[in-house]
Structure formats: C-alpha cells, structure tokens
C-alpha cells in the first residue's frame, strides 16, 4: 500500500438491546459484529430542549471470533414525535479507541439508531428494550 491508502472496513448490522436505568445496557448483535455489545454511561445526562437527552457512553463490542472493539460515544435520546411516553428514539455515535483480532488497528467512527420501549410486560420500571441498526466505515493505515 502507498502512504495515502487506507484499509477500510464497512461495518453494519442490527442490535437487539436491553437497557437498565441510567447505568447501561447489553445487546445481541448481527452483521459485521456478530456477538454482543456492552454499554456503560460515562457522563452526566443532559436534558436539552424538546425533551432530548444526551450523555457520554463507553462500549465494548465482542465478536464471536473473540475480536473486540472498544469505543467512546455520544448518545442522544429523543422523545416519540407522536407523544408516546414509553417510546424513545436513540442515536449513538461511536468513536473507536482500540480493537483486537480482526478489528486491531482500525480507527474512525460509526453510528446506530433505533427505537427503545419501556412499557414491555415483565420489565422493571427503569428498564427498556428495543432494536437498533448500526453502520459506518472504519479505517487503518
């Protein structure tokens, strides 16, 4: 490779996610990352105009082959535009800190978006579950 070329990795797939309170969550992942994701809130929850909430998050994504991606992130949670108080739209922007295995050396960012619901039968009051899609392009020199 020349000095100007980069090895790229197109990432994308789905996440079935489960969150507990303001502490974090886990998700079963398919696609480029075929395994599990773990999230932990690292920042204050800031309430913005219109009921929007933002916070910092850190994630560890573990693929079934043992490869890991660690990220630091910005999470934005928006209320349902139709007014359902139990439905929220969540967007994450993940910035890669490090990776191992087939993700070793990759940098850059990717994003996810999807819906979270908190009134599912059997879930404790401060828990939620939902589905997200993730996508982006990572690179390494």
Checking if the pLDDT of 103 tops 50, the result is: yes
Checking if the pLDDT of 61 tops 50, the result is: yes
Q: Domain spans of the chain?
A: 7-12+41-140
Residue with tokens 């020199």: 141
Confidence grade of residue 137 (pLDDT, cut at 50, 70, 90)? very high
Per-residue model confidence as pLDDT tens digits over 12-38: 999 999 987 778 899 999 999 999 999
Mean pLDDT to the nearest integer, 82-91: 95
Q: What does each C-alpha distance from 74 to 34, 82, 110, 122, 125 come to in angstroms?
A: 22, 24, 11, 29, 24
pTM exceeds cut of 0.75: yes
Q: Which tokens sit at 24?
A: 């974090």
Checking if the pLDDT of 69 tops 90, the result is: yes
């Amino acid at each position: 490779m020349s000095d100007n070329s980069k090895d790229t990795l197109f990432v994308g797939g789905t996440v079935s996610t489960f969150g507990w309170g303001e502490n974090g969550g886990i998700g079963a992942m398919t696609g480029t990352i075929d395994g599990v994701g773990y999230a932990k809130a690292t920042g204050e929850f800031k309430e913005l105009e219109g009921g929007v909430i933002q916070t910092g998050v850190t994630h560890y994504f573990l693929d079934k082959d043992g490869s890991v991606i660690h990220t630091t992130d910005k999470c934005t949670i928006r209320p349902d535009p139709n007014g359902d108080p139990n439905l929220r739209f969540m967007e994450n922007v993940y910035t890669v800190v490090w990776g191992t295995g087939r993700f070793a050396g990759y940098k850059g960012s990717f994003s996810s978006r999807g819906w979270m619901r908190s009134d599912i039968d059997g879930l404790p009051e401060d828990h939620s579950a939902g589905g997200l899609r993730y996508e982006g392009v990572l690179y390494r020199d």
